[in-house]
Amino acid sequence: EALLPFRDDSQDQSASCVQALAEPVDVSDEFMAQVRMFEAAYQGQWSYVKAFLDHKTEWVNGDNPLGSQAGYKLVHQAAYYGCGLPVLSMLATKGANFLEVNARGETPVAIARAHGKARCATNIEGLIDGTLLQDGVPARFLCPIQQDFMTDPVMIAGGHIFERRMIESWIAQRSPNVNHPMTGLPLADLTLTPQPQLQAEIRSYLATNPSMID
């Protein structure tokens, strides 16, 4: 299917491509609003796509009202052009189905890989399997107990990693019969092993994504 020219967002990891618009989009005619939303996606104007989805989230998995020979939805369009994580995360938070197949039976991951957009495909896989959260944050950066970025990650027996002060508090409150926070099984070995490499990765991520810091 012929697609309109598009800027290659495969390396764009900034949030500027989904920033809020200065003026609201016209949604008085919802049929035409959906048409314009798909046109915006074809042209790489994802800020406009987001604005339309802010009006009606359920459009995220909808079909183009004018039809599409290849059966492309927004997720397929994003994958075709290898959109960066900000666009994928925006679609994820709106409830996009990244397992959706087009008329040819292709998933977004397959489309991205077929067009040489390996980074995009990997990000989509991360959103599907949970290694990336909907806002694009690597799940391993968050403490399972407090669900916040770890500043001093430590590993306990069994391989799970927690924020030091959270797991120390967990142990202190349950001693001497400490159970594992994730499995509920008895935790006999209370050794806490620092994770300096993960700590450095989290610091680097937050340094380049300051908006993630409360």
pLDDT at 7: 44
Residue 205 token pair: 């991520």
Quote the mean pLDDT of the chain.
87
pTM of the model: 0.70
Q: For residue 62, what is the DSSP state?
A: P
Residue 111 has pLDDT above 90, yes or no: yes
What's the pLDDT tens digit per position in 168-191?
999 999 999 999 998 889 998 999
The model's confidence at residue 1, banded by pLDDT at 50, 70 and 90, is: very low
Select from 57, 37, 44, 36 the least CA-distant residue to 18.
44
Host H or E run for residue 128: helix 118-129
pLDDT at 3: 38
For residue 101, give Cα distances in angstroms to 16, 38, 68, 98.
28, 17, 13, 8
CA dist., res. 97 & res. 124, Å (int): 10
- The predicted model gives 81-105 an average pLDDT of 92
For the chain, list the domains and their CATH numbers.
15-129 (1.25.40.20), 139-212 (3.30.40.10)
